Amino acid sequence: MTAGRLLDHLTSRGDDPALLTADRRVSYRELADDVAASASDLGSQRRLVLLECRNDIETLVSYLGALAGGHVVIPLPADGDHAAVIDTYDPDVIVRGGSMEHRHRAAHDLHPDLALLLSTSGSTGSPKLVRLSRNNLIANAESIATYLDIRDTDRAATTLPMSYCYGLSVIHSHLLRGAGLILTDHSVVDDEFWDLMARHRGTTFAGVPHTFDLLHRIGFGDMQLPHLRYVTQAGGRLAPDRVRRFAQLGRRRGWQLFVMYGATEATARMAYLPPELAVDNPHAIGVPIPGGTFDIEVLEGEPVDGMPADVGELVYRGAGVMMGYAHDRDDLAAGRTVAALRTGDLARRNSNGLYEVVGRISRFAKLYGLRLDLERIEASLRDADVSAICTEGDGELLVAAADRPAGCDVGLVATTASGLPRAAVRVLDVDELPRLPTGKPDLHGVRQLADRIRSDDGVALDLRGLFADVLHLDAASIDDGASFVDLGGNSLSYVSMSVRLERAIGHLPADWQRLPLRELEAASRPRRWWGTTLETSVALRAIAIVLVVGSHAGLYTLWGGAHVLLGIAGYNFGRFCLTPLPRLQRARHLRNTIAWIAVPSVAWVAIALLGTNDYTAANLLLANKFLGPSDSVTAGRLWFVEVVVWILVTLALVCWTPIGDRLERRAPFAFAMGFLTLGLVVRFHGFGMGHAAWFTVVAFWFFAIGWAASKASTTLQRLAVTLMLAVGIVGYFGNPRRELLVFVGLALLIWLPAVRCPSIVTVTAGVLAEASLVIYLTHYQVYPLFGEHRLLGVTSTLLTGVVLTQLLMMARRRIRVRGIRHVNSRTASPAPR
């Protein structure tokens, strides 16, 4: 397809959907018009265009506009360091976020066939680029579209960067067939990604091995995806057991798994494994793509011990093979310099005709006169349950190791596997294995880490220890791919974690509670001088509990704090209980959250019953509103705890059922809004309710407001929740000032995720918010001790709650540590003799 024919192709698809996002639908005809305008902006003289890429409409239009105008494009990740590429190639135009920076008149000598310059996955940030022609792009896209049987009804989600050859191949092949692209930068662990897949009836998405690790962790097998046709995998070797597991899952669910093999130097794909063969041949890369062929060439030079005779270097020939590499501007004028691609992979052809890659030529190192197979050493470490990357550096074997079992000597395992003396093996303890943006091992990053440790003793964040301390877990059991939510974090431990995490890494990343530990460590940056980040829910929780205590003690009259707390409870329910985890795991999280609230509450009521007349036996069951007596002076003192516990119990049962779980996952915002609507109907006595026994049900809509707010991801959705809040709050208390206070508090929860404030404010708010439950439980018994000294009574109540909370946390931590020690003592292996 020539540059001129690109616009004709887009126009020919008419009103079929081309691009789909969270808030836009762009037809092929509209896309053609936008691409033509972008091409016009670049001018008629052929230019070298550096494009900073995001998975959005503006970037894609700029990319296609450059191709349509016959220009040469260098796609690079947005926000990356492109200084080396810019200095080496001096692009005429730099495109960022849809805006063009024309730097000077075109002065480059560009070969007429050249269309694209891509960074290889192994040289991120390097000026070494792969030169690809228009014929490379078209031929590879046609081949991929053929073996995947891409149809104009398909909708592909952009799970990979547009600057990466795999991500770009998804775009090329689907546009070639007139299919739709669901443009998103969301990860597969985000609810928003699956919302888009459901809304736009997504039929496919692509993944690298790390993507499939995430899918396994979030319970992908339980998701209902009725429109999914196929899933593709490339970007590195997927473990055979994972291949088999996902292939079997696809068979059960009616979609296909395509395991693929490729390289930037081949435009993208070189081989694919037919889905029907994946279960029985999970080690294989499959067969060459249509139009391509493989040869296996015997290696010259010194043989490697243990290498079978039928193994050799895999050599690929086909229309997708690159024109050659570019190292500087002069190379842009060169024609084809490569006829066949020597992949550097060691492979063999099995008896069934399928090809299998068994190693890398470049993964061999020569140390102390020994030729070492680094992949075999890594396999030995995996057998010892150690995740590791091995490479050569400064005359020694570098082993970056993570997730080692307790008591495992990584150096000894590597020494035994390599045959090297122990002094030649250097172990680098890491919380996260260095990887490139594509998910492949970052060997250069391992060498840099070794150099950095030499210079500064390798001081690193101990976020695993922080998670273990807050969540009362064994640090050794925490996977660096797990998030706060995965590890059982809830609304109570969340407060402590958010404050301590902000102090540890200098800021709070968006949606940090769902980010893997390794990403949180990578997100560390210096603290801003003007303050720290305080999440709005934490700030509101602290303010609300102070309002509750002060109003009850008579220090002031500002009612409504408890109803704000009820909204926050719903907000945290949506964030920490309704996560992408499997159904049974979500149910366990809900059970634990209920226990965190109910157990201390019942314990305090039991203590209070021993020395006061404040409560009755009904309070022990947290059921005073149901069982009475309703005429007791203290009957309603624990109403907030009762409401929260019984709402959580009810919703736990709803979400535990397969149908409730399925509906919530399919449309989380609509599901929450449905319950909010039901709550408002009850609030206006739609079912004739109003008796004190139904107080929990009547107050439910405050909880539902917070729940819906946590699932609102667009401006329109937040407006809808705000409107429902306004409808429900007017006249609810018969006190305009109280209604305004609650409205403002919950509106802030809906619209303002976080605020920046001095560190002392963040710490104080965090401490009060963390202690809010215990403060609420104990304040009725504490402030009366101070009589008319109301300020002293309120201050003492808050301090008492904080101290008791810390004691409770210490007790939980001690119990947990004893449990871990008991388990370890029972499972410890005897020392070798």
Q: Rounded to 5 degrees, what angle do the CA atoms 527, 528, 530 make? A: 135
Cα distance between residue 637 and residue 548, in whole Å: 11
Residue 565 is which amino acid? L
Best CA proximity match to 180, nearest among 150, 224, 207, 140: 150
Cα distance between residue 636 and residue 619, in whole Å: 10
Please list, in sequence order, all residues whose beta carbon lies within 8 angstroms of the beta carbon of residue 90, skipping any fewer than 6 positions away: 48, 103, 108, 329
Asked whether 165 and 137 are in contact (CB, 8 A), the reply is no
Question: Is the pTM here over 0.85, yes or no?
Answer: no
Q: What pLDDT shows up at residue 474?
A: 64
Count of CB atoms within 10 A of residue 111's CB?
16
Q: What pLDDT shows up at residue 523?
A: 58
Residue 164, classified by CB atoms within 10 Å of its CB into exposed (0-12), middle (13-18) or buried (19+), is buried
CATH 3.40.640.10 fits 3-356, yes or no: no
Spelled out in words, what is the top-level CATH class assigned to the domain 368-456? alpha beta
* CA R_g for the chain: 30
Cα distance between residue 301 and residue 484, in whole Å: 51
- What is the sign, positive or negative, of the torsion defined by CA atoms of 430, 450, 211, 20? positive
Count of CB atoms within 10 A of residue 360's CB?
15
Report residues of the chain scoring pLDDT below 50: 122-124, 302-303, 305-306, 455-461, 528-530, 689-693, 820-821, 823-833
Q: What pLDDT shows up at residue 125?
A: 53
Q: What pLDDT shows up at residue 372?
A: 76
- Could you identify the residue written with the tokens 């270097």? 313
Instruction: Give the tokens for residue 238.
Output: 């997927």
Q: What pLDDT shows up at residue 488?
A: 74
Number of H helices, E strands in the chain: 30, 27
For the chain, which residues make up each domain, given as ranges?
Answer: 3-356, 368-456, 536-755
Count of CB atoms within 10 A of residue 453's CB?
16
Q: What pLDDT shows up at residue 517?
A: 74
Q: Give the CA distances from residue 1 to residues 9, 133, 137, 310, in Å, rounded to whole numbers and listed in that order.
A: 9, 11, 9, 40
Residue 352, classified by CB atoms within 10 Å of its CB into exposed (0-12), middle (13-18) or buried (19+), is exposed
Asked whether 365 and 397 are in contact (CB, 8 A), the reply is yes
Q: What pLDDT shows up at residue 260?
A: 97
Q: What pLDDT shows up at residue 370?
A: 61
Asked whether 422 and 410 are in contact (CB, 8 A), the reply is no
Q: What pLDDT shows up at residue 254?
A: 95
Q: What pLDDT shows up at residue 404?
A: 75
